[in-house]
A and B are shown apart, each in its own frame.
Chain A
């Protein structure tokens, strides 16, 4: 069957190439459009299919799991029940939420103050400082691992969620500063000048004028920092030990079956769907915001 398919495709391409130059313009346009639509469909299939397949597989148990039919015939929720029963998956989710929320809150608080200074005030050393912040966000995490390990132990945070909040600041903080600064610079100058003439102090300025205006930017930045913290793996793997302290990515990576060669794929797929679904919903709802945030730092910088 495979060979015939290839032959058919090759024939189609050959026919198109041979007839292209002689075909009337209207036809060419139509074929071009159909081709473009096919390409887009293929693209959507490519980006969405792996997740779709995870959903389908998560709804199959027993030998049905090994079926390659594209539609789950008798969807079963056993895998979903199993991940919450066989391991502290609910606790893991709670851990991830706590860590991500705390990390985002601390980063935003520190970053919004810093972004005011870096985005609105011109002083000597501003540019080098900005570049330093940018290069910290490019740090390989492994480069701070041993130093961070020592720090975590010194604070008595090993195998506690606090160790993750502390270490996640390495990437969420510089990122937030960078993105918020680029948003801060876009706000009109007149606003601030009017307030300064009225004798407003910098703190009032930030709290009363910039904070409300920056609210959308903070939602964007917070969202991106949240996703980064939610997805982090290396620190979470290294600084937590017991199953109850793990975050979701580590819990999923370490799901194992009766033997090393028999991974419970149904459970793994169910867990994957549970932690990914909220993210996908977030992304679909805040699509425009996220795109703006992702490109804000890079393009204008």
Chain B
């Protein structure tokens, strides 16, 4: 049947039939174009993920990945009784919540500033992009140096202004280590937030603001009544992206405070078990838990989009 249809495309047949054959040919070509990408993605993402989930149910060790035994949900059981793991979960959640909140508020302020017309706007936009472009490891080191307890410029500045009486060991003290990490993360990722929000702001038609201005609505009210509802889609996307990204935080924490328990994130916990302690089974279980949490959040987000589109 198919060949008959294809042969028919060259003949001046009825247009509808010719079209359907053509589109079928196009669909087949589309799958051919997709195939290499799908194969590679399956190899580097799908397969390793499945293996990780499988390892989570075994007692595999890094020294010999070929010899292991199936242990069922034992790793997850151990995980649920490890206070260090729960501490890592709590750290990750606190980090995510605080830094994403701060980034949203600050990013919104920067986006609003970038949205107004003034001389040197290009300069400001370039300046804002700099923290984004700096590798995370480098920004962690730069800030660790600024946060240095003896020679750091942050302590020096705060002492001069009189905000603190004695130098603070920012990254070493358990009271301030998480705050230091959050400060660096906010510094580094707010630009991304601001740019996404700016793109949202630029899609709002000017006339709406004109109308508000003519009606004499004050700027604060314009922001809450007009701007905020209109950029809500962009805002939600930005927050979701940043939240999912913050949940998997690894490099910043690793470089600033290492495997320190007080700031350890879920990714750090999993990697320490997996690589440092060579316990692939247990480490994979921790990784699988993080994956599950992020997967659930992604599914909720995608469903919310669907729902929002239909409504």
**What is A's interface to B at a CB cutoff of 8 Å?**
1-3, 5-6, 36, 39-40, 43-44, 46-48, 50-51, 53-54, 57, 65-66, 68, 106, 110-111, 113-114, 116-118, 121, 123, 129, 131, 133, 135-136, 138-151, 153, 166-167, 169-170, 173-174, 177, 196, 201-203, 206, 227, 230-231, 233-234, 237-238, 248-250, 252-253, 265, 268-269, 272, 275-276, 279-280, 282-284, 287, 290-291, 294-295, 298-299, 301
Q: Is B36 an interface residue (CB 8 A)?
A: yes
Residues of A within 8 A of B270 (CB): 142, 145
B234 within 8 A of A: yes
Given contacts A39-B113, A151-B47, A295-B196, contact A233 B133 (CB under 8 A): no
- A145–B162 CB distance below 8 A: no
Per DSSP, are chain A's interface residues mostly helix, strand or loop, or mixed?
Answer: helix
Q: Is the CB of A121 within 8 A of B26?
A: yes
Complex CA distance for A46 and B107, rounded to whole angstroms = 13
Name the CB-closest residue of A to B137. Answer: A249
| B94 within 8 Å of A (CB atoms) | no
In the assembled complex, the Cα of A60 lies from the Cα of B189 at a distance in Å of 29
Do A299 and B199 contact each other (CB < 8 Å), given the known contacts A139-B291, A151-B47?
A: yes
A114 touches B27 (CB 8 A): no
Contact in complex: B163, A2 (CB < 8 Å) = yes
Residues of A within 8 A of B34 (CB): 113-114, 117-118, 129
Q: Which residues of B contact A173 (CB under 8 A)?
A: 37, 40-41, 44
A202 to B26, CA, bound (A): 7
A-B contact count (CB 8 A): 291
Chain B residues numbered 143-193 whose CB sits less than 8 Å from any CB in chain A: 143, 145-146, 148, 150-151, 153, 156, 160-163, 187, 191-192
Nearest CB of B to A30, in Å? 14
Q: How far is the CA of A135 from the CA of B303 in the complex (A)?
A: 13
Docked pose: A7 CA to B249 CA in angstroms = 41
Asked if A202 and B33 make an inter-chain contact with CB atoms under 8 angstroms apart, the answer reads yes
Indicate if the CB atoms of A298 and B162 lie closer than 8 Å. Answer: no
Provide the residues of chain A in CB contact with B122, threshold 8 Å: 287
Q: Does B49 contact A (CB under 8 A)?
A: yes
A276 touching B134 by the CB < 8 A rule? yes
Q: In the complex, which residues of chain A have a beta carbon less than 8 angstroms from the beta carbon of B146?
A: 50, 53
In the bound complex, how far is the Cα of B138 from the Cα of A201, in angstroms? 48
Taken residue by residue from 240 to 255, chain B's Cβ proximity to chain A (1 for < 8 Å, 0 otherwise) reads as: 0100100110110011
**Which residues, 185 to 227 on B, are CB-close (under 8 Å) to A?**
187, 191-192, 195-196, 198-200, 203
Contact B196 A298 (CB under 8 A): yes
Q: Are A238 and B30 in contact (CB under 8 A)?
A: no
B105 within 8 A of A: no
Complex Cα distance, B255 from A252, in Å, reads: 10
Within 8 A of A (CB), among B87-128: 110, 113, 118, 120, 122-128
Beta-carbon contact of B45 and A136 below 8 Å: yes
The contact string, 1 if C-beta is below 8 Å from chain A, for chain B 274-306, is 110000100110011011001100100010000
Interface size on B, residues (CB 8 A): 101
Provide the bound-state CA to CA distance between A196 and B19, in Å.
11
Known: A135-B295, A139-B45, A276-B134. 8 other contacts (CB 8 A): A117-B29, A138-B244, A140-B267, A167-B44, A169-B44, A173-B40, A233-B255, A298-B199
Assess the A294–B195 pair: CB atoms within 8 A. Answer: yes
The answer on a CB contact under 8 Å between B44 and A140 is: no
B160 / chain A contacts, CB cutoff of 8 Å: 1-2
Residues in B with CB closer than 8 Å to A284 are 126, 129
Is residue B307 contacting chain A, with contact meaning CB distance below 8 A? no
Looking at the assembled complex, report how far the CB atom of A147 sits from the nearest CB atom of chain B, in whole angstroms: 3
Among B22, B122, B161, max chain A CB count under 10 A is at B161
Contact B44 A40 (CB under 8 A): no
Residue from B48, B113, B134, B291 within 8 A of A51 (CB atoms) = B134
CB distance B145 to A43 under 8 Å? no
- Set of chain A residues within 8 Å of B271, measured between Cβ atoms: 142, 145, 234, 238
Tell me the minimal C-beta distance from A75 to chain B in angstroms.
18
20 A/B residue pairs, CB under 8 Å, sorted by A: A43-B127, A51-B134, A53-B145, A123-B27, A135-B302, A142-B248, A142-B271, A145-B48, A146-B280, A149-B62, A150-B65, A173-B37, A202-B29, A202-B33, A233-B254, A253-B254, A284-B126, A291-B125, A299-B237, A301-B237
Q: How far is B130's CA from A173's CA once the two chains are assembled, in angstroms?
A: 24
From A140, A143, A202, A227, name the one whose CB has the most chain B CB atoms within 10 angstroms: A143
Interface pair B244/A142, CB less than 8 Å apart: no
CB distance from A234 to the nearest CB of B (A): 5
Contact between A117 and B124, CB atoms less than 8 A apart: no
- A183 → chain B, closest Cβ, in Å? 14
Q: Complex: how many Å from CA A176 to CA B216? A: 46
Task: Give CA–CA (A117, B60) in the complex, Å.
Answer: 40
